[in-house]
Structure 1
Amino acid sequence: MTVGSSKKARKTYLRTVQNVQMTSLALERSRIDNPPIEFSEGDARRLHHPHDDALVVTIQAGDYNIHRVLVDNGSLADILYYPTFQQMGFGRERLVPTNAPLVGFGGARVLPLGVVTLVVTIGDYPQRITQNVTFLVVDYSSAYNAIIGRPTLNSWKAVTSTYHLMIKFPTDYGIGELRGNQVSACECYVAMMEMDNHIQAMNIEER
């Protein structure tokens, strides 16, 4: 899933990336701000193998724990599905208008209802992150409640492993972890395969 933008904006972004790369090559220096992030076989012990399951996690957003959140490195946007938005007790007045369409793999365009910014927390104390995340809210059928895409993964400096079904990220107190739920991943897969025009029942709970 990508976000549509103007041709001029894309060209400007390309020039910016090229300039950053040229500057980095000229500096030729390395800096270590955080300890290295590594995965081991021990991280995958709780999983059924072999598997090709998606990375599906639970995040804390405001006063709610939102389950069935897909971690998608291929998504250029963070997405919150409208039924979840409603179950969190929000009304449309909370949405900020946007005209940036979402483009799916098939080229179909979906216009979001708007954007909403929520305080999201992941990880266990004290290795946790709390940041504002701006979601595009879409009225679209999905087995998932939300999608975490590249904007937030990059802001977390997160490293994902689909083999280990885990995210690791640096914090001021060491490397934090967020494990995926393999059962939820399987349930979402089955639901997506069986989905018709009805929106799947969403699963969020108040903390």
Structure 2
Amino acid sequence: MSFSEEDKVGTIQPHDDALVVTLRIGGYDVKRVMVDQGSEAEIMYPYLYNRLGLKPEDLMAYDSPLVSFDGKIVIPKGQIRLPVQAGLEVVEVSFILVDAYSSYKAIVARSWLHALGAISSTLHLKVKYSSEDWIEELVRSQSVVRQCLIAAITH
């Protein structure tokens, strides 16, 4: 698997956009999922937790504090394991629920990429992974990324 100049077609270049995709989480299509290959933790924000109809009793304990993007310490509300589907591939992911504002609904990190056998490119704004005998691609939505940026700034 590799990326080429052709993989940039359809993106506005140059850019400094995050890699944001739509994934099926817990049986629902979820937009605004950030792929963060630099993170160790998969994160879920309250909006998605509530929209999935999850309840406090669905959470497992998680007591390690996290550091947010703005450098503040965040105490997680707990952890929940859910299926995350990309194309035909399904990977079980342990999301840490944090009670913090984000214009993203969730963040998937290195452990999700590794479990899927995927590689990501922020330059090309794509995730590629093998599915049976072919290469699948998750393609970004650059306009959604920019909407997230505007939402974060105005918040």
- Please state which band the TM-score falls in when normalised by the shorter chain: over 0.9
Aligned residue runs from structure 1 range 96-107, under 5 A: 96-104=60-68, 107=71
In 1, Cα distance between the equivalents of 2:10 and 2:109? Answer: 25
SS at 1:74 equivalent: coil
2:83 to 112, 119, 124: 119
Aligned length: 155
Task: Check the 8 A contact 1:75/1:150 in 2, yes or no.
Answer: yes
SS in 2 for 1:163: coil
Give the structure with the larger strand fraction: 2
TM-score (norm 1): 0.71
The structure 1 residue matched to 2:150, chosen from 190, 204, 207, is 190
Q: Could you say which residue in structure 2 is the equivalent of 1:27? A: none
Which runs of no fewer than 5 residues in structure 1 stay unpaired?
1-36, 196-207
Structure 2, gaps ≥5 residues long: none
Question: Is the Cα–Cα contact under 8 Å of residues 70 and 147 in structure 1 kept in the other structure?
Answer: yes
Partner of 1:38: 2
Of structures 1 and 2, the larger Rg is shown by 1
Q: Note the C-alpha offset of 1:105.
A: 5.2
Which residue pairs with 2:38 in the alignment?
74
Structure 2 counterparts to residues 127-206 of structure 1, below 5 A? 128-195=88-155
Cα RMSD for the two superposed structures: 1.4
Counterpart of 2:14 (choices 39, 50, 53) is 50
Q: Give me the TM-score of the superposition, normalised by structure 2.
A: 0.93
Identical aligned pairs, as a percentage? Answer: 39
Structure having the higher helix fraction is 1
Q: Deviations for 1:81-131, whole angstroms, at most 9, x for unmatched residues? A: 0121001111111111111211235542211111111111103xxxx3111
